[in-house]
């Protein structure tokens, strides 16, 4: 009897660990598996681009779809809700296209790290932040600043 309880407890813990590890993970899907309204938005957003793939993910308890693409040689990711509305657009931006305030703000946040990529973050049609990927001593991290180059009150 005690052995059965221990086995059930172990299985339950393993199930919880598996469930926790899969929450928020992206699942690669085919275009054909997108809802029709999401396909329409994805097709509109990816006109003239090379689509790298589609994903589905649960973010804060809500299902989102993402189309990843290359446009004019740079990356662009568009997050879409199940109704076909655009939630967020992350688009690579060249350092020389950023304002001096944004460049300086990102470098301050990066410290001694090397900025390897910068993306603009647009939510519901409004530029809300710039995000930089940073390489410091072989470790990767991300830093963000607002559209004015100043620190954000909360990360986007």
> Would the CA dihedral through 13, 23, 83, 49 be positive or negative?
negative
**Enclosing domain of residue 114:** 93-156
CATH number at residue 72: 3.10.450
Quick: pLDDT tens for 81-104: 999 999 999 999 999 999 999 999
Boundary (domain end) residue, out of 88, 104, 122: 88
Both 38 and 84 in one domain: the answer is: yes
Q: Is the pLDDT of residue 29 over 50?
A: yes
- What is the per-residue pLDDT for 14? 38
Q: Identify the residue whose tokens are 């309204």.
A: 37
> Is pLDDT of 21 > 90?
no
* 11 within a domain of the structure (yes/no): no
- Among residues 147, 139, 96, the alpha carbon closest in space to that of 123 is found at 147
Last residue of a domain, one of 88, 105, 131: 88
Are residue 134 and residue 76 in the same domain, yes or no?
no
Is residue 132 assigned to a domain? yes
> What is the band of 26 on the pLDDT scale with cuts at 50, 70, 90?
confident
Q: Are residues 100 and 125 in the same domain?
A: yes
Q: How many CB atoms lie within 10 A of CB 54?
A: 24
C-alpha closest to that of 67 among 86, 94, 95:
86
Domain identity same for 50 and 68: yes
Residue 6: pLDDT band (50, 70, 90) is: low
Question: Is there a single domain that holds both residue 108 and residue 121?
Answer: yes
Going by the DSSP 8-state scheme, the letter that residue 132 receives in this structure is E
Mean of all residue pLDDT scores within the chain: 88
The residue behind tokens 């990102």 is: 106
**SS3 state of residue 6:** helix
In the prediction, which pLDDT does 151 show? Answer: 95
Write out the DSSP string of 15-54. Answer: HHHHHHHHTT--EEE-GGGS-HHHHHHHHHHTTTSEEEEE
Average confidence (pLDDT) over 31-47: 97
Contact 131/90 with Cβ under 8 angstroms?
yes
* pLDDT at 146 > cutoff 90: yes
Domain count, the chain: 2
Which band of pLDDT confidence, cut at 50, 70 and 90, is reported for residue 16? very low
The DSSP bridge partners found for residue 101 are none
Instruction: Give yes or no: residues 75 and 112 share one domain.
Output: no
Residue at which a domain ends, from 73, 88, 103 = 88
Whether residues 118 and 154 fall in one domain: yes
Ramachandran region, residue 47 (left: φ > 0; alpha: ψ -120 to 50; beta: rest): beta
The residue whose two tokens read 């973050």 is 121
**Residue 13: predicted pLDDT:** 44
- What's the pLDDT score for residue 24? 59
Rg (CA), the chain: 20
Query: Does residue 9 register a pLDDT over 50?
Result: no
Q: Is the pLDDT of residue 27 over 90?
A: yes
């Amino acid at each position: 009897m005690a052995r059965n309880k221990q086995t059930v407890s172990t299985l339950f813990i393993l199930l919880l660990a598996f469930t926790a590890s899969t929450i928020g993970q992206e699942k690669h899907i085919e275009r054909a598996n997108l809802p029709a309204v999401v396909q329409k938005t994805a097709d509109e957003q990816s006109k003239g681009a090379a689509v790298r793939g589609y994903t589905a993910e649960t973010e804060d308890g809500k299902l989102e779809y993402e189309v990843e693409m290359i446009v004019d040689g740079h990356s662009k990711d568009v997050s879409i809700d199940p109704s076909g509305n655009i939630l967020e657009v992350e688009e690579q931006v060249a350092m020389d296209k950023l304002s001096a305030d944004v460049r300086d703000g990102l470098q301050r946040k990066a410290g001694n790290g090397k900025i390897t990529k910068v993306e603009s973050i647009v939510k519901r049609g409004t530029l809300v932040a710039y995000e930089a990927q940073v390489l410091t001593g072989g470790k990767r991290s991300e830093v963000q600043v607002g559209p004015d180059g100043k620190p954000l009150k909360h990360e986007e």
